[in-house]
Structure 1
Amino acid sequence: MKSERISIIIPTYQHASVLSLCLKAIFAQSRLPDEIIVVNDGSSDETEKILEPFMDRIVYLFQENKGNQIARMRGFQQSTGSLILFCDADVLMHPTMLEKMEKTIKEHPEVSYVYSSFRFGWKLFKSFSFDVERLKKMNYIHTSTLIRRDDFPGFDFQLKKFQDWDLWLTLLEREKKGIFLNEVLFEVLVSARRGGISDWIPSFMYQWPWKCFSRKKKAIRAYEEGKKILFKKHHL
């Protein structure tokens, strides 16, 4: 089976503490990517210093702070792969992730992307087989998904929340579907989530007692408002 060309795009903002771990996990893949693009979204930490040992093996782009989706899209526009994977700087890919995802998507030419389960710190996020009705009610697909370049519609910059969910719903409206690879293929480093590219609260945490604290209440309000906007856009 002929290999596709795979591009990994890493948007990063203030994640110098974990960026090298992310890259080392990528370089340890059993199937190495053909291209790694790191987009520094205006970080003021030691991101560039951390990247120095990797510069001969990556494409490095810098921009003023504009947000994660714009950083991702800039990386996408510079990429050359027929298969694309967006990997946040605090994501650690398991050694066989690319190999298994590529194999799966090649065995299923009818699908546009392949996704897996993952761990968010100690919490296992077990995903589901692709289900249209379930996807309309909840997002069970992480952004770190291998997607066909020709099917990728881009991100909606007008949305402040749920850009990933919006992506899958947009593909669904275009009659493009995904396939679930029933394995845990990566983990997210919770300690690195400090409000940059990956400022996100998993839904299970909304039920915790400390949700009454002001910062979390604000995040939950933004979550609910973002959900309403998304549902209106897609007529759900």
Structure 2
Amino acid sequence: MVSVVIPVHNRAGLVEEAIRSVLGQRGIRPEIIVVDDGSDDATPEVLKRYGSAVTVIRQERRGVSAARNRGAQAASNQWLAFLDSDDLWLSEKLAEQTAYLRRHPELEICQTDEIWIQDGRRRNPGRRHEKPQGHCFSRLLERCLVSPSAVMIRRSLFEAVGGFDEAIPACEDYDLWLRIGWRHSIGLVRKPLVVKRGGHPDQLSRTVPALDRFRIRALEKLLRGTPLLLDQKHLALQVFQEKCRVYGSGCLKRGKTAEGTAVLSLPFQVAEELGLSPADAVHAGGRSDEETLFSST
């Protein structure tokens, strides 16, 4: 039932551990597809060791979104699961999710809780990072609360929304979950079945500066290209306005006047196209008691 897609670039040691964690799944023997995104270290040699147990697709360096999409296109099964090459699964991960989806046949996507390891030490997520479930569009706007390594998604849904946006070099997961979450309910297995390991020097959060510009792009695309309900438009415009304010003001302080001015004007342009105003959006959207939708992700 499940095809697992692992994108990798120059992580020979880590990807071996990731593959072993998939091979060690209890009760399920998934299809494993590793997309080698232009590695020039020992990754290809490591992948050869697994023979027919792993399908390896090698491509020129195109980024993680293209690698995930390529793996999904090659998948044989109706359900997709993604695993980043630096993360691990506990042995019950796929079995627990499969059982959960059988109990909830109305769902087309679900995720699990995670164990966070930062620079080799366990870190407890704060309340603001608590994973949502159900129709949770407003919370998905706040920050990226769905992890690719924790997701199982019906292949038909992934294809219907167009997969990961290969034109966005970072925050591509934030973009995808918004395109799914405005319309679809997201399930949650409340067990930490994924070990999410951070602190690597090649992580996108460390190598790509000013990540909020890509969240701004995702929100702009969502507002302009998705038939959101009116209250969803208000909420999305509210978050969009604040992110543009923070990022645009930062550009002005650093002397990037043209970029800052353009970003600060974006919410007004988009609101006018939608027949709304930023002021109306703030009034309609309101603020939550504990976490404002204006929180920076």
Taking structure 1 as the reference length, the TM-score comes to 0.83
Query: Are 2:221 and 1:233 aligned?
Result: yes
| Structure showing greater relative contact order (alpha-carbon pairs closer than 8 Å, 6 or more residues apart) | 1
CA distance in 2, matches of 1:120, 1:184: 9
1:170 pairs, out of 169, 179, 183, with 179
Q: What 5-or-longer segments of structure 2 have no aligned partner?
A: 224-235, 237-297
CA distance in 1, matches of 2:97, 2:204: 26
Query: Are 2:153 and 1:147 aligned?
Result: yes
Q: Paired residue for 1:160? A: 169
2:89 pairs, out of 90, 93, 112, with 93
Q: Paired residue for 2:133? A: 129
CA contact (8 A) 2:174 2:215 kept: no
Q: Deviations over 1:106-154 (max 9, x none)?
A: 2112211111121231223442334222112222110120000111121
1:166 Cα deviation from its structure 2 partner: 1.3
1:187 aligned counterpart, secondary structure: strand
Matches within 5 A, 1:69-218: 69-121=65-117, 122-125=122-125, 126-130=130-134, 131-144=136-149, 145-152=151-158, 153=161, 154-173=163-182, 175-190=183-198, 193-195=200-202, 198-200=203-205
* Residue correspondences, number: 211
- Structure 2 letter corresponding to 1:223: L
2:212 aligned counterpart, secondary structure: helix
- Structure 2 letter corresponding to 1:141: V
CA contact (8 A) 2:63 2:166 kept: no
CA contact (8 A) 1:8 1:86 kept: yes
CA contact (8 A) 1:8 1:33 kept: no
CA distance in 1, matches of 2:30, 2:195: 22
1:186 aligned counterpart, secondary structure: strand
Q: Paired residue for 1:32? A: 28
Q: What 5-or-longer segments of structure 1 have no aligned partner?
A: 202-214
CA distance in 2, matches of 1:106, 1:150: 17
Query: Are 2:59 and 1:63 aligned?
Result: yes
2:28 aligned counterpart, secondary structure: coil
CA distance in 1, matches of 2:41, 2:169: 24
CA distance in 1, matches of 2:36, 2:69: 12
Taking structure 2 as the reference length, the TM-score comes to 0.67
CA distance in 1, matches of 2:37, 2:192: 28
CA distance in 1, matches of 2:4, 2:54: 10
The structure number with the bigger radius of gyration is 2
Q: Deviations over 1:44-64 (max 9, x none)?
A: 110122122212201111011
CA distance in 2, matches of 1:57, 1:178: 31
- Amino-acid identity (%): 24
Q: Deviations over 1:163-204 (max 9, x none)?
A: 11111111134x22211111111112335x332xx5236xxx
CA distance in 2, matches of 1:120, 1:104: 23
CA contact (8 A) 2:137 2:178 kept: no
